[in-house]
Chains A and B, each alone.
Chain A
Amino acid sequence: MRTTLDYGIDLGTTNSAIARQDGSSTRLLQGPHGGVLLPSALYVPAEGTLRVGAAAHDAAQADPQNAAIEFKRLMGTEETRTFPASGRRLSPEEMSAEVLRELIGWAAREEEAPRAAVITIPAMFQLPQSEATRRAAQLAGIQHAPLLQEPIAAAIAHSGAGEVREGYWLVYDLGGGTFDVSLVRSRGGRLQVLDHDGDNHLGGRDFDRVVARRAADRVREEGRLGGFKRSDEALSGAFSRLKAEAERVRILLSKQDQAEFRVDQLAQVGGAWAGVSFPLDRGELESLIGSTVRRTTALCKRLLARNRLGAKELKGLVLVGGPTLTPCVPKLIQEELQLEARHAGDPMTMVATGAAIFASTQKLPANLRSARAGSVPAVELQLEFEPMTTDPEPLVVGRVDPARLPAGVAVTAVREGGGFTSAPARVDAQGRFALELALNPNSLNVFALELRSAGGEVLAAEPSRLTLLHGFSVAKPPLSQSVGVMLAGNAVSWYLRKGATLPARNTVTHATTIALRRGQSGEAVNIPLLQGESGQADRNKVIGILRIVADKIGRDLPAGTEVEVTLSIDESSQTTGRAYVPLLDQWFDDVVMFRMETKQATEVSKGLGAQKERLARLEQLAAELEGGDSAPADQRVQEVEALIEEGDRDSIDLADSMVRLMSEELDQTETVTRGRALEGRFQQLLAAVSELIAKEGDKADKAQVRALGDEFARAMQQGDMELAEAKVEDLRALYFRVAQRTPDFWIGLFNHLAGRMQELDLLSRARDALVRGSTAIKKQDYDILAAVCRELMAMLPEQEQVGSSIISHVK
């Protein structure tokens, strides 16, 4: 009877696998065809059963409309896939559930179908994606499915194989759709993931993408298929064929130096098929995928820099994931990182192997255990112990139902193979006992448990043995991204920071900013839950909203009411949020969990535009400040624009991810240069204001400038950047106030507005005002001119209107 999970599943983007731990050995389970890999593909025909795996993968090429691949990338989103032949519509969780069901079926061929298994997820998976994976497991009948980060699974497989006992190393996990890199330390058998990084939109399929893009460029050059756009629905099959061919050629190039990229039946033109073909060698492949590989190595470098480690201090880099078999990848990694990159075991099954090893340390819930064979009733022992430990003398504590035992029962543990018998541990009145064991170092230790009554009678116990592995243990996984709560004013209160060991919990007290009346239907105090790293709330992802709904409160809540919010994340990254309101003595745990947002091309484009502006500003600032930090390169801008142009879901998601990354990097650059930038801006403004005031200002203006100068200096000295920024804005506002007293200001503004009216084609609307303005200038009536300018500004589109604070309203 199994008492631990033992099954580990790697649910991959391209391929999946299942492994089982039996004692000290790990075995990959085989499918009906004898292979250990199951392509993560689905085919839904018009009639008959749904196909999963290789059959579906093959069918995807001929009938892509009714096939689905790489749906892991959509986990956590609202996107569904419709299969026109059958009319069925499936969510990413449902599709993943089919894959899991198939794998469970493989296990069921050997013994009872497991109802619990460890399932791996990328380390950078966000909480909605993890939740979706759990849902998929439930749908597949896996009732208990702890989630394990893929790099940890790989590290366990690598370390558990005795490869590395001491030192630091990187686990470079490049899957079909995701990339994770983890910095791992092994010390005295204790495996610890120190840090990780990665990208949920970067994987082997990006290699195929760039090769397919090259092929598409060739097609466009040849011109037979016109613009040949990916967003053209009629050509979706063509692009799938290109991608499939790209994958084939890429795999072929891992065995030979040259290959031919060839698709004869790409798309139909005037009733005839048009195709594409061209030669491709390893060198060209390397140049095509080089930038993608460099994106991964950049993340590796970032990880190492963050932990102040250099390549020399690492034992090596372990390659995991099928795409790492692409020939030039290890070479490129070695060139970039100056680190030997090697495959320690089969990169395509390492994750499943490690998951199974880990599963063997996880207790199987009692309700999921198989019934015990045999007719002799046994005393059931609830044992607590660490199944994997580096402690040579661990403790085992157990509980029994005292009602079922005679008095004076004692428990003894005897190590199989001899050499140790524990002191008898008496069972106390509550049925508890504690055994101190001694383990053989670096090996699996099996102990037989003996229950004896006071009279020496041996009682049957279940379980009758316990197994402990000495010499290897795994630290709890770290949280991959910080989790917190959005506060009013776009601020963030971080509850659990990236790197915090899971499980983790934190409680923070806040105060509400709005009043809530009892029974006010539809109203609630919303507490947005965030995941990310930015100090600005809107730069992070909202993963859910914890709500205190008015329908459920016992009395009115005024603004400023105290609320204690507790966020908990378990080892599987399952997040729960609860709020306690002391005033009501009531708990609230109504959390609306969000899916991953999927943006449209226009939104991503807008986001890119905003980042380009910031980039330009920072570049200008860097040029102005001597030795200022330079802004990040804008090569990615072109890449993002190209992805937006491609227009398919994947490209848009990738573009969005890159824009977000750019935004985070620009945030960091702005933070670093903030102080100097502020100082620079203030001095520039001061010079302009002083010059203006010398001509047009009065004593009061000069007094204000002096006061602002003192306050700015004080704020900088105190390190209060927000206050310093406010003083810069105050100085700017003063400049405009003084300028408004000069006729030149209004004349200049009027001329500018007249120009804008022309550009925006608003001349007919503005004609009357423009005439009055011109007359006012001639008459030197600047009051009228000011009124005209205000009128004209009100006609501008909203985002162009100058803030009212600049314009005086005294009349």
Chain B
Amino acid sequence: MAAVLALTAVGLSLVFGVMRVVNVAHGEFFMLGAVAAWFVTSWMPGPPWLGFVATLLLAPLAVAAVAALADRLVLKRLNYDPEATIVATIGLLYILQQAALSLYGPDARPVPAPFELRLQLPWFGYSGYKLFVVAAAGLVLLAVWLIMTRSRIGLVMRATQIDRPTAQAFGIDVDRVYAGVFAMGAGLAAIAAVLIVPIQQAHYLMGGDPLLLSFIVVIIGGLGSLRGTLVAALLIGLSDGVISVFYAPTLAKILATLFVALVLVFRPQGLFGAKA
């Protein structure tokens, strides 16, 4: 849970950090990833792992393409105005949700796990697939960190984040960077969905929880801070899992929301965010 939440929240944080866009439709990109996973695994012949590998490659690409299109058709036309894009992404949320309802239907559908493995530890058993999810999410997050800190693409993204006009004065095509970042953020949400969907099920309304938790995570971690997002995802993901198992999922959400309220009151920039 924490690993998948970290992936989803990093996507949201990246979009806000670089573009200053609060993407309310982020949860729907997560949902599209899960729905795409169902389509690909349903149509793909052969063993489940083959369908899963194909999904892991195709679903994020497809969702990223949808996001890039949305950026061109909607956000760019609004000149990435922070307030207008909130309203626009709310609209996008409903468009994507209703499109999924029309094309995929109202049913929750299972997606098979790529492999069945149960690790029997001395005191309890644990799903091998869940450990795989943690490892895969960790690898993707490491890749994101390397891209942001060690690559030219990351340098360009950071320059755009720091000062858009100056980045343009050095030949950086900011519109292209924004389209890429929006696609990357959506792609990360889709990867998270593909990883989690064999544990949950694909449903057209499944985007709400990841969106809420991602917002909680990025607010606690500090908007735009990757390090803060990771720490907060771990904190919220683990506490959500433990409280949901031993008490109730609703209590977990109530406590997380309370924690956000406390952070907003005592440290509005988040645990790792820079002061405005």
Partners in one complex: no
